[in-house]
Each structure stands twice: as structure tokens, then as C-alpha cells.
């Protein structure tokens, strides 16, 4: 099973709302990632979790708050977003062995619209 | 910033081989060459990766030049479903930096 699932598929939220994006994988991967992709642009890395600990934060605004409650789940909590945060949010996972490089498996993404 | 250069777009006839080039002249000795693709409105899909040797799997072949400064992804028999954006990424560790990629259009 090489599947990464993301919920919801689509989300519309107001600027004062609080919402969460969820990501799940059952491949035994111990690294999980959040990417943001604006229309017609490549994905941009936001956060990396390794063994459930935040290892990379690409200077993401605090209105995005990641959480990794266990090795299979990754959440992205959203609060006080701006319309320019509207994008496709992608989750990915990969192995972590000896700090080497492994392929990442991506979910289908959550299409977020901030009104 | 991305460390690769790819042509913005390419066309390929259905059933023919698609050869997608990538330049990575500043690649470091421990960096791998990865290829991903993204079909419209879907998440990126891993295709193949390599360090020095040529690699082949069920999806594609990866040819890396001896000096490692460039590579070519080969889809041996392109189908309409291979129409996508193809990203070439050089990477060590878990931080992928995507460039603009190549839009491959497979035409019947």
C-alpha cells in the first residue's frame, strides 16, 4: 500500500475560522511533510516531521500550525488565514534511514479557498 | 532555489518514446537525481531516482551522464495518460525543492 490520504478534498473557510487538514499513511514511514502549491506553480515545502518531531519549518507564518500526533498522522491547523493562503495543500511521507534520501509519496491534496 | 534546468514544454506522439532532459551542473557528489510528475490537479507522483548509474523501473528509465551534470528521463512508449508536468530534482536528505518542471503533452 503506497497510499497517502488527505481530508477534506476541498475546504472553504473565512478569515476568522479555525480549521484543520488531516493526512494519514500506513506505509510505516517516519518522515511526513506539508507542501503548499499555488496555481500554476511548483509545490513549496512548508514543514517536515521526522520521527514525530518537527525538523524543518520553512519560515511559515504562525497562522499555520502543524501537528504530528503519531507516526501515521499529520495535521495542519489553520487560523486567521488570508485570501492569499488559498492553494492546494499537499501531504507526503517517506522513509528515514540513516539520514539518507528516499522517495516521497504524495497525497491528492486539499484544495483550500479562503474567503 | 531549484538546482535544475528543464525545458518549459515538450510534445510527444502517442506510442513514441518521450525523452525529457535535465541539467544539474552544480550537483554535489552525494546528491541524487529524482524525477516526479504531476498530472493536473493531483499530487506529485514519484517516478525514478539515481545517483551515478542508469536506472530502469516499470515506469521509466533514467540516464545520467558520466560527469553527472545532466540526465534524461525516458518514457519508452508514451500514452495520453502521461501528459503531466515532469519535475527533475537533485536532492540529498528530505528537503525537495521543485523547479518549474517540463510540461509534457502527449498527442494522438
Task: Supply the pLDDT for residue A12.
Answer: 97
pLDDT digits (tens, 9 = 90+) for A49-101: 999 999 999 999 999 999 999 999 999 999 999 999 999 999 999 998 666 66
How far is it, in rounded angstroms, from Cα A85 to Cα A93?
Answer: 23
Tally: H helices and E strands in chain B: 0, 9
Is residue A2 scored above 70 in pLDDT? no
Residue A40: its pLDDT value, please?
93
Q: Does B34 touch chain A (CB under 8 A)?
A: yes
What distance in Å separates the CA atoms of residue A49 and residue A58, rounded to the nearest whole number? 12
B57 touches chain A (CB under 8 A): no
Interface of A with B in 34-63 (CB under 8 A): 42-45, 48, 50, 55-56
Give the rounded percent of residues in chain B with a pLDDT score beyond 70: 98
Interface probe for A, chosen from B94, B96, B103 (most Cβ of A below 10 Å), is: B94
- Are residues B80 and B14 in contact, defined by beta-carbon separation less than 8 angstroms? yes
Residue of A nearest to B1 (CA): A44
Read off the pLDDT of residues B31-83 as tens digits, 9 standing for 90 and up: 999 999 999 989 999 999 999 999 999 999 999 999 999 999 999 999 999 99
Q: Do A43 and B44 touch (CB under 8 A)?
A: yes
Beta strands at B70-75 and B61-64: parallel, antiparallel or unpaired: antiparallel
Q: Strand (E) positions, chain A?
A: 4-7, 10-13, 18-25, 31-37, 44-50, 53-57, 64-70, 73-79, 87-94, 105-106, 110-114
Q: What is the largest CA-CA distance in chain B?
A: 40
Put the strands of the sheet holding B102-107 in their side by side order: B9-13, B102-107, B84-91, B32-38, B45-50
A7 touches chain B (CB under 8 A): no
CA-wise closest residue to A25 among A104, A89, A113: A104
Name the residue in chain B with its Cα closest to that of A95: B94
Task: Report pLDDT for A102.
Answer: 85
Amino acid at each position: 500500500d503506497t497510499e497517502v490520504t488527505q481530508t477534506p478534498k476541498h475546504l472553504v473557510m473565512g478569515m476568522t475560522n479555525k480549521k484543520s487538514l488531516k493526512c494519514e499513511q500506513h506505509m510505516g514511514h517516519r518522515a511526513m511533510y506539508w507542501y503548499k502549491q499555488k496555481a500554476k506553480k511548483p509545490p513549496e515545502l512548508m514543514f517536515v516531521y521526522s520521527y514525530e518531531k518537527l525538523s524543518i519549518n520553512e519560515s511559515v507564518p504562525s497562522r499555520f500550525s502543524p501537528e504530528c500526533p503519531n507516526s501515521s498522522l499529520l495535521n495542519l491547523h489553520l487560523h486567521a488565514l488570508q485570501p492569499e493562503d488559498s492553494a492546494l495543500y499537499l501531504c507526503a511521507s517517506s522513509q528515514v534511514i540513516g539520514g539518507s534520501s528516499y522517495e516521497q509519496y504524495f497525497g491528492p491534496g486539499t484544495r483550500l479557498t479562503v474567503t | 532555489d531549484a538546482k535544475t534546468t528543464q525545458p518549459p514544454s515538450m510534445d510527444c506522439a502517442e506510442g513514441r518514446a518521450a525523452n525529457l532532459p535535465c541539467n544539474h551542473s552544480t550537483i554535489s557528489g552525494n546528491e541524487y537525481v529524482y524525477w516526479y510528475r504531476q498530472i493536473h490537479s493531483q499530487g506529485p507522483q514519484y517516478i525514478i531516482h539515481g545517483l551515478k548509474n542508469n536506472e530502469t523501473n516499470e515506469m521509466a528509465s533514467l540516464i545520467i551522464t558520466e560527469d553527472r551534470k545532466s540526465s534524461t528521463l525516458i518514457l519508452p512508449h508514451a500514452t495520453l495518460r502521461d501528459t503531466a508536468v515532469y519535475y527533475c530534482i537533485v536532492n540529498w536528505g528530505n528537503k525537495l525543492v521543485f523547479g518549474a518542471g517540463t510540461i509534457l503533452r502527449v498527442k494522438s
